[in-house]
Amino acid sequence: MRYRAVFLCLLLISCRAAQEDLCEGDGSSSLQVKHQAAEEAGQPPNRVVNRITYDTHYGVATYDTGMVNRTTYEDTTCLSSHINGADNFAFDIAPDQRTVVYRDDAQLGFADITDPYSPAGTGLSTSFWNPDEVAVKDDTFALAIRQDQLIVVNITSQTSVHTIELGERANDITISPDRTIAAITTDGSYMVQVNISDSDPVAWTTQVISDITNITYDGPKVEIRADNIAVLTLNSNSIIILNLTDATILDRFSAGEVNLTGIDTVEDKLYDLDFDGFINLNSSLTDVKREPWGVAWLGDSSFFATADRESRGFSIFNQSGELIFTSGNQLDHLAVSLGHYPDASSDSTSIDVRNVEFGTVDGCQMLFVQCIRASLTFVFEVSDPSRPEFLQVLPAIRRPVQGKVVPDRHLFVSMSVGGSFFSDQDSGLELYQCSRWPRQFPFLESGDAGDGTPIPWTQVAGLTGEEDGTLYGIEGGEMEVQTQILVIDSQQQPPLVTETIPVTYPNGTLVEDLESQGIERIPSGFAIVEESGRLHLLSTSGVLQASLEVQVFDSLSGVAYDPSLGLLLTDTSGFVQLCDVQPACGLSNFSYTLDARESQDTDGAVELRDVAALGNGTFLFLETDGQGSFDAAVGRIYKAELPQSGGSFSKSLVADFLLDLVDLRGQVLKGFDSLAVTGHVGDGEGRRMWIVNDNEGYQAFSYETRLIPLRAPLD
């Protein structure tokens, strides 16, 4: 099981109290002080990462981008072999606010989050197998449902101590705030209510609330208010209000329908693969059933929120069924602006809103809305249920399916699932905590187009920069999506995509299927390279002017322009060639010696991933091993002057950025494929290097794109 601690700070004025009394008395204050002291001393804080053979630091050099900081750890009881690819995960937190009980496909696990900066696994229950859901009664007992059974587990001994037969296959369990009732939804037409008030599980009794129809396996979710009034959502687009004190149904009503505009409803595919980058927010849908999935009471009020899977958002109702608020296309638009929109799901549930969770932290009433296909959790302030105010968005390991607020410790704990076997990020627990530290997500977002919708983008396959701070990113790469150039204002915080330039043929049709790997500014426009071995020259408006097949040993990876020399093209193997802008290549060839493999993964060979020109025949070269998470070992930038034709570059180290990225507080993603430089030549201290860390846009992984600035003397 992987544990990722993510620290957030809410800057909304109405929630400013959440910043005033942080990390007090919970074990994290000392680490925060240690971190600050280390920064003042010019040293990065030490981080210990379990289950790896080397120590390293993950993060990003300190700079102000907003509200989120993160740390990733992996427990030595790593369960990735069990949990990869699964959707039906669950967890709960004991009243001590330090013990987490979670389930995977095989068994129950236990974790200690006393220090949220360093969560640790404490064991696995082997007394029974294949639990479906889990909830914690108190600091002594956890309740797991397995098919048609309720299994009581002693948290200390991590063994089962009692079993209750339910009569039907169960699929959800919730404990009442007073810890006296366990509400269990089943596949049948009833809900089982278990009286768990006695300290001895043998004395617990069951009661059935019948006439709850249309419950299916992947449907019902129940949430209980402090007065034991429960709200239940059903796949039939229905909502039921129940009184658990006397086991009666108080009300039942439809969740209703939504009309949506300014959305993408077409799942465009290339080569029949489940991805593409044709995001067009120009469609609409009418009378879309909400079909709520998750549900949460807004504290002790008469309002509750629903996660509306089919209608792509969330809604707030009062107890009588009156609609107070619905989010419309807001979440879709936020996901698009962050590069997290899953276009392959445009014809169905889009970002797939699965869960909502409410919590009050120092007077700030927050609603967390979790979207599994966008790998995001959106945070809203809901003191006025009719006008939720967007605060920020939290990135997830992969698919955030459940969350819990720990208000006294200023924590939000989330579980992500669905990591691919080939992904560098598996399923795991994520911890977010209020902090005064500047946020670090997003690292890149887009502004609005002329019609008021966000500018669509998916990933950055190549990057180049100009002296005025403008960056140009090329989309494409192995995604083979619509190729467009992103114009990025790097002086904004976070950097902002201000416009896109489509890559077209002279007749105006779009150039598709380019496996773009690098981009460079040239006097006539742009030069881009494809990994398969093609060099393309474009006008400043993105019109294709010329193309040329070039010599390739492995795959093209980067391109840089020096006015006195021409274009320098790199191959991942270390083969480098000089071209002109006619274009003609092979004018001179060079060799570049790569570092040796250091990754614990035997496939982690070091490759030459990009190049950037510094002028006067001097270049920067980006070397990485293409590995993510704890397998990443090499991420370095070297400087070298162009040798004589046929010669070999003599390189000197500029940045070992896996060691320098001390504040990212998240797992290293697989791709470091892009390098750029901004600032004026001769202004060494003012010049800045930029790298991109991402998962190359694959929908099997996280969508997160990190545009990271690095400072180092370059002149």
- Please indicate whether residue 428 or residue 31 has the higher confidence score (pLDDT): 428
Q: What is the mean pLDDT of the chain?
A: 81
pLDDT at 234: 86
Four-residue CA torsion sign, 638, 643, 648, 650: negative
pLDDT at 61: 21
- Secondary structure element (H or E) that encloses residue 690, with its range: strand 688-694
Which tens digit of pLDDT belongs to each residue from 408-459? 999 999 988 865 544 555 667 888 887 666 666 899 999 999 999 999 998 8
Least confident stretch, 12-16, 132-136, 282-286, 578-582: 12-16
In this prediction, residue 17 has a pLDDT band, given cuts at 50, 70 and 90, of: very low
Which tens digit of pLDDT belongs to each residue from 537-591? 999 999 999 999 999 999 999 999 999 999 999 999 999 999 988 888 888 999 9
pLDDT at 90: 87
Which tens digit of pLDDT belongs to each residue from 287-299? 999 999 999 999 9
pLDDT at 303: 98
pLDDT at 523: 95
What's the full length of the chain, in residues?
Answer: 715
Whether the pLDDT of residue 70 is over 50: the answer is no
What is the pTM (predicted TM-score) of this model?
0.87
Looking at residue 332, what DSSP letter applies?
A: H
The whole-angstrom separation of Cα 446 and Cα 338 is 7
In this prediction, residue 8 has a pLDDT band, given cuts at 50, 70 and 90, of: very low
Whether the pLDDT of residue 635 is over 60: the answer is yes
Whether the pLDDT of residue 649 is over 50: the answer is yes
pLDDT at 697: 57
The whole-angstrom separation of Cα 518 and Cα 537 is 12
Most confident of 207-211, 340-344, 381-385: 381-385
Indicate the SS3 state at residue 36: helix
Indicate the SS3 state at residue 335: helix
Q: CATH number of 460-696: 3.30.410, 2.120.10, 2.60.40, 3.90.320?
A: 2.120.10
CB 237 within 8 A of CB 253: no
User: Minimal CA–CA distance to 448: which of 440, 437, 456?
Assistant: 456
* Other CB atoms within 10 Å distance of the CB of residue 1: 25
Looking at residue 12, what DSSP letter applies?
A: -
pLDDT at 62: 21
HEC assignment per residue over 462-492: EEEECCCCEEEEECCHHHCCCCEEEEEECCC
Four-residue CA torsion sign, 349, 351, 357, 360: negative
Sequence letter at residue 391: L
The whole-angstrom separation of Cα 13 and Cα 179 is 34
In this prediction, residue 645 has a pLDDT band, given cuts at 50, 70 and 90, of: confident
Which tens digit of pLDDT belongs to each residue from 167-204? 888 888 999 999 999 999 887 778 899 999 999 999 99
What percent of the chain is modeled with pLDDT above 90? 55
Least confident stretch, 140-149, 348-357, 478-487: 478-487
Domain boundaries, the chain: 72-435, 460-696
CB 316 within 8 A of CB 303: yes
Q: In the structure encoding, which two tokens stand for residue 49, read together?
A: 């990462």
The whole-angstrom separation of Cα 428 and Cα 70 is 14
The whole-angstrom separation of Cα 97 and Cα 315 is 29
Whether the pLDDT of residue 58 is over 70: the answer is no
pLDDT at 269: 52
Which tens digit of pLDDT belongs to each residue from 664-676? 556 677 788 899 9
Whether the pLDDT of residue 18 is over 60: the answer is no
Whether the pLDDT of residue 80 is over 90: the answer is no
Which tens digit of pLDDT belongs to each residue from 32-43? 222 233 333 333
pLDDT at 549: 93
Q: In the structure encoding, which two tokens stand for residue 425, read together?
A: 């990020």
The whole-angstrom separation of Cα 16 and Cα 10 is 7
Four-residue CA torsion sign, 257, 258, 259, 262: negative
The whole-angstrom separation of Cα 616 and Cα 363 is 59
User: Minimal CA–CA distance to 71: which of 39, 31, 106, 22?
Assistant: 31
Which tens digit of pLDDT belongs to each residue from 141-175? 999 999 899 999 999 999 999 999 998 888 889 99
CB 296 within 8 A of CB 305: yes
pLDDT at 79: 33
Q: How much is the average pLDDT of 63-91?
A: 40
What percent of the chain is modeled with pLDDT above 70? 78
pLDDT at 349: 81
Four-residue CA torsion sign, 347, 349, 352, 357: positive
User: Which residues, including other chains, have CB under 8 Å from residue 200's CB and lie 6 or more apart?
Assistant: none
Q: How much is the average pLDDT of 83-98?
A: 74
Which tens digit of pLDDT belongs to each residue from 202-254? 999 999 987 765 554 456 789 999 999 999 998 789 999 999 999 899 999 99
CATH of domain 72-435: 2.130.10.10
Which tens digit of pLDDT belongs to each residue from 47-56? 222 211 112 1
Write down the residue that tokens 């980006």 correspond to: 622
